[in-house]
Chains A and B, each alone.
Chain A
Amino acid sequence: MCGIVGLFLKDRSLEPQLGALLSDMLVTMTDRGPDSAGIAIYGAPSRGKAKITIQSATPGADFARLEGALAELDLRVGLTVKSTHAVLEVEADKVDETRAALARLRPGVRIMGSGDSIEIYKETGLPKDVVARFDVRSMAGTHGIGHTRMATESAVTTLGAHPFSTGADQCLVHNGSLSNHNNLRRELVREGMTFETQNDTEVAAAYLSAKLAKGEDLGQALTSALDDLDGFFTFVVGTKSGFGVVRDPIACKPAVMAETDRYVAFGSEYRALVSLPGIEDARVWEPEPATVYFWDHEKAA
């Protein structure tokens, strides 16, 4: 069992409240997943800049003098430390170079994700503690997804927590378990994907990243996933401008959605949605099995 929440804002006036709304939703799902929690927030991109979210088990040592060390390599970064995580703002064309430099300079640092607008925070512990540690409530953004984990497939570690990000501005959270992830991982490794964990969900994330890299849109990639992934899943996926939901054909993992003029929201249970503004008058429904739903700011505009 795990808990998933997601919120895609249509009304820009809600953007400053995104972190607070998602935090309440996430904490409500604590009893579905008390062992770790994570959140991906899509904030406003800065022109010509990209963000890399990094994590360290020894943040004091790893983040100290990191800006200076990168500057010596002619990599100008802005560093914002939040507990065990930090966000590096870098020149958009220096992302790969910065990642390579980080691997050399700070081998203990893990990259949670990178892109124009995504920031990812995840840790072991109760959702309320994870939310407080990273001050998620104060974050603004256009859309975000969160996850509370009750581990079944791999260890309870920071890297085993969701969301998983395997491509720029992409992330995925999962309730369920995949049965063909080992085979699929081997195929994706052959195609050049790299993996950080033995976790089944990371394989699903990498699968979608590989499809998107081949030019499919999110809807097409999720449709392909229905054919190629075996097991139980309710997925919620984020991209730079979009938000998608898909459930396996058996659909035993719960899912509820709500839509108003102001937002589209996802919760593993209706409980997660009850504090959203105007929920009383929202259209509330259970997503159909084997059916892809997605919303996109760019396509809607």
Chain B
Amino acid sequence: MPVIDLAVTPLRDLNSALHAIPPGPNDIAFEVVNPRGSHAVAVGIDAPVAVDVKGSVGYYCAGMNDGGSVTVHGSAGPGVAENMMSGKVVIEGDASQYAGATGRGGLLVIKGNAASRCGISMKGIDIVVHGNIGHMSAFMGQSGHLVVLGDAGDALGDSLYEAKLFVRGTVKSLGSDCIEKEMRPEHLSKLAELLEKAGVKGVRPEEFKRYGSARKLYNFNIDNADAY
């Protein structure tokens, strides 16, 4: 297993090595030590490689991930797993603002809390947060699932399209055009699948409430002017 020490190896060498993995089956795993809050650790992975980062990272860790499996054994700065395409990113600690922003696929698991704007403009990514999330999360979320075991901050799901939001704790306030919706059997089974994939134990899907779009703001309608 290659071990990259960011105290001595430039970040660009790490990311170049991750980008140089040939296609096809392989079981390459990288360990990254001494990240010391560095930005852009393990961005742009496009192969099924595993990366274990031993420590906390700064901005944009695992951004644009496409098929990799990145685990941060620490906390992550703003924009972790931004625009993920596929694969899995696990943050053992907390994540700062806009975790999983604009993600198109894959699974982001945050074992601590996520700050504001978690899943902003999500477009197919699945996000599971074991703790709480901050304000304006899932703003303009288009598709995918945001699962929160703790509480959600202000303006959850503002201007939401078709992302599905599941919150187990309290929601401080719902954003414009976001409403609580009925939990149907297909939602419970999807939720069970996501909890299983995220390694959540001892939590039942029935403990969550589902939130989604009231679909009044999709297109501008003068009758809805008050809702903007």
Chain A positions near chain B (C-beta within 8 angstroms) = 249-252, 254, 256, 269-274, 284-286, 288-289
Contact = CB atoms under 8 A, between A and B. Distances in A.
B194 interface: no
Contacts of B97: 251-252, 254
Contacts of B37: 269-274
Contacts of A286: 94, 96, 115
B75 interface: yes
Interface string B82-118: 0000000000001011000000000000000001100
B211 to A, nearest CB: 21
Contacts of A271: 36-38, 58
Q: Which 8 pairs from chain A and chain B are nearest by CB?
A: A271-B37, A270-B37, A274-B36, A286-B115, A270-B56, A269-B58, A251-B116, A274-B37
A16 to B, nearest CB: 25
Contacts of B78: 254
A279 B96 CA distance: 18
A50 to B, nearest CB: 39
B135 interface: yes
Given A286-B115, A289-B135, A254 B77 contact: yes
21 contacts: A251-B97, A251-B115, A251-B116, A251-B134, A254-B77, A254-B96, A254-B97, A256-B96, A269-B37, A269-B58, A269-B59, A269-B77, A270-B58, A270-B77, A271-B37, A271-B38, A284-B56, A284-B75, A286-B94, A288-B134, A289-B134
Contacts of B75: 270, 284
Interface in B50-66: 56, 58-59
A17 to B, nearest CB: 20
A162 B75 CA distance: 29
- B interface residue count range (under 10 / 10 to 19 / 20 to 34 / 35 or more): 10 to 19
A254 to B, nearest CB: 6
A243 to B, nearest CB: 22
A284 B94 CA distance: 9
Given A254-B78, A270-B75, A285 B94 contact: yes
A252 B116 CA distance: 8
A29 to B, nearest CB: 11
A250 B134 CA distance: 10
Contacts of A273: 37
Nearest to A255: B96
Contacts of B116: 250-252, 289
> Which of the listed residues B37, B58, B78, B94 has the most CB atoms from chain A within 10 Å of its own CB?
B37
A41 B125 CA distance: 46
Contacts of B115: 251, 286
B152 to A, nearest CB: 14
A30 to B, nearest CB: 14
B76 to A, nearest CB: 9
A285 B94 CA distance: 8
A291 to B, nearest CB: 11
B119 to A, nearest CB: 16
A270 B36 CA distance: 8
Contacts of B134: 251, 288-289
A285 B75 CA distance: 9
Given A254-B97, A271-B58, A289-B135, 12 more contacts: A249-B135, A250-B116, A251-B97, A256-B96, A269-B37, A269-B77, A270-B56, A271-B36, A271-B37, A273-B37, A286-B94, A288-B134
Nearest to B112: A285
Contacts of A270: 37, 56, 58, 75, 77
Contacts of B56: 270, 284
A172 B37 CA distance: 25
A269 B60 CA distance: 13
A69 B58 CA distance: 52
B120 to A, nearest CB: 11
A249 B116 CA distance: 10
Nearest to B34: A274
Nearest to A272: B37
B210 to A, nearest CB: 26
A271 B74 CA distance: 13
Contacts of A251: 97, 115-116, 134-135
A256 B135 CA distance: 17
B96 to A, nearest CB: 6
B140 to A, nearest CB: 16
Contacts of A284: 56, 75, 94
Contacts of A249: 135
A75 to B, nearest CB: 48
